[in-house]
Amino acid sequence: MSRLIDIKSLDLDELNEFILSMNEKKFRSSQIYTWLHQKGVHSFLEMTNLSKELINKLSETCSIVKVEQLDCLSSKEDGTKKFLFELEDDQVVESVLMSYKYGNSVCISSQVGCKMGCKFCASTIGGLVRNLKPSEMLEQIYAIEKFSGEKISNIVVMGTGEPFDNYDNLMKFIKIINSKEGRNIGQRNITVSTCGIVPRIYDFADANTDVNLAISLHAAGDDVREKLMSIVHQFTYEELMASCKYYTKTTNRRITFEYSLVKGINDSKDDAYLLTRKLKGLLCHVNLIPMNNVEGRPFEKSDEETIKNFKRILESKKITTTIRRALGQEVDAACGQLRRSYTNKSNNESKRT
């Protein structure tokens, strides 16, 4: 990796400090920040309001991270677009653009691969390769905005990777994308999804932002959760619930629990009633996700009727519940599936040659 400073990963305070350390005037940092985060340029030469001298200094010491679009698949059914981006070290990540009535939402990846080991998830199959830098998370959004010509109003960090396993870079990313001098995307329009890394849930609560928290729960207790997720070996259900209570008390914000329904594993009436007891009194909302089949994984999605019944039971106990629209099925939009099919394809091709 290059030893140059990754200037797009600096927040405005850090950029100020850097610019002052070069004996330049402070207002230069706002100019540079605007070029990077609002105008999206990828060369210092394009920063036409800077002096030649400063452009030269920046070119010698800094790099402007860029992602290269490899592919874009559009779903004919619902217009969802899935993007594959190549990073500077040839790694590949995926992002998704979804259009809703309220605006356009982008789902970004936070890591290359993932080490969390959820047994139904395609992202975890090859393990973790590396964390994404703040600049690489930002670039997924900037590149989609540029390519599609659509304004992005919402962000979900629910693509490949575990955002709370890359916590500092995630928080820096949020700070930059939320900044007035950057894209100014409101904290309430950003959602971070975690498989439940308990110490980071406490940190996130203490950070006291308006960013939404989603937790991949997928079960009402450790025994069923263990069939689906390896994270139970690090943090028990009770520990997870205690951190959730702390979060809602500290922030007064609702948690979204994601619950992927898997046939015969976590979708019985008993599972639903147990879940209502576990979530009793907690400021929350449940989002039911029909399991997306992943090649080589033994899990099947629950029947539609079962899903509706599950929802009815939760609602009978006053838990607000939604069923996630299955967007982008034909474009492998479930977590990690497109990257996986791409890496499989290139592996097969290189095997053939």
Q: Which of 54, 291, 314, 319 binds ligand SAH (CB under 6 A)?
A: 291
Is 15:64 a contact under the CB 8 Å cutoff? no
Q: CA angle, 346 as apex, 341 and 350 as ends, to 5°? A: 150
> Is residue 255 a contact point for ligand SAH (CB under 6 A)?
no
Per-position x/- string for 107-136, each x denoting binding to ligand SAH as judged by CB under 6 A, each - no binding: ---------x-x-xx---------------
Concatenate the DSSP letters of all residues of 206-244 into one string: HHT-S-EEEEE--SSSHHHHHHH-GGGGTS-HHHHHHHH
What phi and psi, each to the nearest 5 degrees, are found at residue 191?
A: -130, 135
Q: Which of 84, 155, 158, 255 binds ligand SAH (CB under 6 A)?
A: 158
Single out the catalytic residue among 24, 94, 136, 162. Answer: 94
What CA–CA distance (Å, rounded) separates 145 from 23? Answer: 35
Query: In whole angstroms, how far apart are CA 199 and each of 28, 230, 242?
Result: 38, 16, 11
Q: Which of 75, 154, 193, 212 binds ligand SAH (CB under 6 A)?
A: 193
Complex with ligand SAH: residue 10 or 97, whichever CB lies closer: 97
In the bound complex, what is the minimum distance in angstroms from residue 225's beta carbon to ligand SAH? Answer: 11
Complex with ligand SAH: residue 135 or 194, whichever CB lies closer: 194
Is 160:335 a contact under the CB 8 Å cutoff? yes
In the bound complex, what is the minimum distance in angstroms from residue 292's beta carbon to ligand SAH? Answer: 4
Active site residue 114: no
> Is residue 289 a contact point for ligand SAH (CB under 6 A)?
yes
Q: What residues does 323 pair with on adjacent strands?
A: 288
Helix (H) or strand (E) holding 290: strand 284-290
Q: Which of 201, 275, 334, 338 binds ligand SAH (CB under 6 A)?
A: 334
Active site residue 118: no
In the bound complex, what is the minimum distance in angstroms from residue 132's beta carbon to ligand SAH? Answer: 13
Q: By CB under 6 A, what part of segment 163-192 binds ligand SAH?
A: none
The residues near 104 (Cβ < 8 Å, ≥ 6 apart) are 97, 98, 148, 150, 151, 152, 153, 154
Is 110:335 a contact under the CB 8 Å cutoff? no
CB atoms within 10 A of CB 264: 10
In the bound complex, what is the minimum distance in angstroms from residue 18's beta carbon to ligand SAH? Answer: 32
Count, residues near ligand SAH per rule CB under 6 A? 18
Which residues are annotated as catalytic? 94, 335
Q: Which residues bind ligand SAH (CB under 6 A)?
A: 116, 118, 120-121, 158, 162, 193-195, 216, 258, 260, 289, 291-292, 294, 334-335
